[in-house]
Amino acid sequence: MTTPLPNIMDLTLKELQQSMSLLGEPSFRATQIHQWLFSHHATSFDNMTILALALRTKLSETFTIFRPEVVERYESFDEACDHRTEKILLKLSDNNLVESVLIPSEERMTACVSSQVGCPFQCSFCATGKMGLRRNLSAGEITEQVYALNNMVSAKEPGRTITNIVFMGMGEPLLNTDNIIEAIETLGTRNYRFSLSQRKVTISTVGVIPEIQRIAKSGLKTKLAVSLHSADQQKRESLMPIAAKQYPLKDLGKSLAEYTASTGIPVTIVYMLLKGINDSLDDAKTLARFSRSFLCKINLIDYNSIINMNLRPVTSAARELFQQYLVNAGLHVTVRKSYGTTINAACGQLATPSLHAAQR
């Protein structure tokens, strides 16, 4: 049985430079090839006409080019705000599947992308965690999600492009930091055909403290969002057992204070309100105390129903009381509306069809 050739799209620029060295080529060839792959979107090595024929032959004998394939596409329409959310299912080179979401609005066109196939943290409110972790995505696979969503945008509205990227899809981005940073560089700082400011990128995390510290020191200008969901250690452990135990609130709060002090960039605290669990006045008081120690804003979000999970969203009256307490405490608070719930595209709902089928 013939061993398949490695997918060149999975190599970082540094790895591509190492590969060129092994092929007896100068390192600058790696930059040229990388640009052909991610700026010109070459589909074969023959397209890379700037390269000598001998090198193109060596590349075709050593690597293959495989881009994630869109195998399903779903659409949800919110009549209240003329909002149409779209979700795509992508097949990877090893036949694993990931989901990505396009969230349009009048001012923005946001790509919500995945960083892992599955997730190891198994948070009680999240469908992705039920999959377990299968593997990290390569930087190329992360980047290609944005390109696939951008192609959808330009096909519908020529001249319009993705304006924001949020790493809030499947997986924990800060367990795949190297590839997240590599993807951000390809999508922005390398000035390829698609180039987005780092300030338009948000990285979401359950609170992986060592990687938060690393991001703070990296010089990235991206935004950081932390999925908190309770500022009480015991409650947070019941909702997020693995993350909360590995990264306790006391240590997390200190890490976020250091992050905001060194970067000057506010952290977004994401708080999913769950009826009868974390929605009381005492919960609001605890959240206010936790959030006062660093520069932040708080996003309150509703729970999005997931099959076989015995959780419920709060009423609008309870949400308003919770929000008002935080506002009165001097905190910046917004309520973030969820889109795409009917196609399982909202926060916590992403999971590949094999899991959805098993839950039916």
| Active-site residue list | 99, 347
- The DSSP 8-state label assigned to residue 313 in this structure reads B
CB 269 within 8 A of CB 304: no
Angle, CA 106 vertex, CA 74 and CA 316 arms, to 5°? 75
Task: Report the distance separating Cα 206 and Cα 243, nearest Å.
Answer: 6
Question: Within 10 A of 87 (CB to CB), how many other CB atoms are there?
Answer: 24
CB 32 within 8 A of CB 51: yes
Tell me the H-state helices in the chain: 13-22, 28-38, 53-62, 139-156, 177-184, 209-218, 233-239, 241-246, 249-263, 281-291, 316-328, 353-359
Question: Within 10 A of 124 (CB to CB), how many other CB atoms are there?
Answer: 18
Dihedral, 304, 307, 311, 313 alpha carbons, nearest 10? 30
Count of alpha carbons within 13 angstroms of residue 72, beta-carbon side: 12
Q: What is the CA radius of gyration of the chain?
A: 21
